[in-house]
Structure 1
Amino acid sequence: MNIAGVFRLFLAAALAMPTVVNAGQCDRNKRVYVFDQSNPGDDTKIFYKVRAGEHPFYAELVRFETWRKSKLVWSIDGVVICSDVIPMCNLDLPTAKKNSDKSVAYECFKEINDPATSNEQTAPFMIPVTDISSGDQTPYIAFGNLTAFSIACSKHMGVQVKRKDLLTEDERKIGFILPPFVRLDSCQE
């Protein structure tokens, strides 16, 4: 094999190798995270990313999108609100109730609470959001209690269904389940 053939072979191998997205290479607003821990044979992926648009200084507009068979099946928008006093961020999700400024947690726990004590204020349910990364490792974002919360309060979540024909039996009967964590997958263009 001549030198040009070796060079072509090396170049082809380098281009074919998978590339790992480094958090430092990607602007935070362009990162796309994924949860792809579905059952074997199931191509379901849940993507998490920052939504484009104007953001208040303390909030980050985010979206969870569930894709199946290369098609968007359903999504839900949310807001990650970070404190400027203590290093803590929480996820807030919109309610399915039209024209409501309340969160999913408020609507869900209002239904669960005793109607006789409905005038009493309940403590807000927090979904902590934690960025996890170390050196050159793939960054993750963990959501505290999000999966359990989404199971308990699914019917109150403001989910936007795009493809009813691609919903699973569990999504039709039980509801929409959000992931406990996501890992950095790629950068948006």
Structure 2
Amino acid sequence: MKIAGVFRLCLAAILVVPTVVNAGQCDRSKRVYVFDQSDPGDPGDDTKIFYQVRAGEHPFYAELIRFEAWRKSKRVWYIDGVVTCSDVVPMCDLDLPSSEKNSDKSVSYECFKEINDPAAPNASTVPFLIPVTEIFSGDQTPYIAFGNLTAFSMACSKHMGVRIDRQELLTEDERKNGFMLPPFVRLDSCQE
């Protein structure tokens, strides 16, 4: 009888002890990453860009992802994309959709076809790869880095398939120059 009582007491203690969720315990589709863009000099600015794997069926070796910009607790704009990883070489690349209607081409194709030599209109456009790197710390994945994404988004913003939810919350810079995507995001939470 004493052994059963000790077992129950140990089991109750284990169930009551709080656990800390790290990236290893959190399903990839439930991880929420964030890039804080708020202005420290402006206490009313709470601008953040969130990054998350979208739920649903994913194509082979690809993850459907989304960047969302939030201000004043409201989603202002978002863009969906795809992270494709190689099964041979440990590399992953981000691809973003073009704003061109009825185009199945990526932002890099549409953006760089303008830059190509007009004397050679039939020359193929070299794809611009945006490497995606998960930066580990122990058994956690606290950061994801996107190579050249900020510079790319500044140069090719007018070609990005950004969807705007709240026009009135866009900044002057977003209206004039376009949308800037983050160079990295850090793990923020795990959705329930």
TM (norm. structure 1) is 0.87
> Equivalent residue for 1:23?
23
Are 1:92 and 2:101 matched, yes or no? no
Alignment RMSD (CA, Å): 1.7
Are 1:156 and 2:177 matched, yes or no? no
Equivalent residues, number: 173
Residues in 1 aligned to 2:20 and 2:177: alpha-carbon distance in whole angstroms:
36
> Equivalent residue for 1:6?
none
Residues in 2 aligned to 1:122 and 1:20: alpha-carbon distance in whole angstroms:
47
Tell me the secondary structure at the aligned position of residue 48 of structure 1.
strand
Alpha-carbon distance, 1:28 to partner: 1.0
Give the greater-gyration-radius structure (CA): 2
**Ranges in structure 1 where 5+ consecutive residues have no aligned partner:** 1-13
Conserved 8 A contact 1:80-1:89:
yes
Amino acid at match of 2:95: D
**Ranges in structure 2 where 5+ consecutive residues have no aligned partner:** 1-16
Q: Deviations over 1:54-90 (max 9, x none)?
A: 1012110000000000000000000000111100000
Tell me the secondary structure at the aligned position of residue 133 of structure 2.
strand
Tell me the secondary structure at the aligned position of residue 26 of structure 1.
coil
Q: Identity of counterpart residues, as a percentage?
A: 81
> Equivalent residue for 2:38?
38
Where do 1:98-177 residues align within 5 Å? 98-135=101-138, 139-177=142-180
Tell me the secondary structure at the aligned position of residue 137 of structure 2.
coil
> Equivalent residue for 2:52?
49
Conserved 8 A contact 1:127-1:144:
yes
Are 1:63 and 2:87 matched, yes or no? no
Q: Deviations over 1:123-177 (max 9, x none)?
A: 2100000000111666100000000000000000000000000000000000000
Residues in 2 aligned to 1:158 and 1:122: alpha-carbon distance in whole angstroms:
19
Tell me the secondary structure at the aligned position of residue 22 of structure 1.
coil
Alpha-carbon distance, 1:105 to partner: 0.2
Conserved 8 A contact 1:21-1:185:
no
Moved over 3 A (4+): none
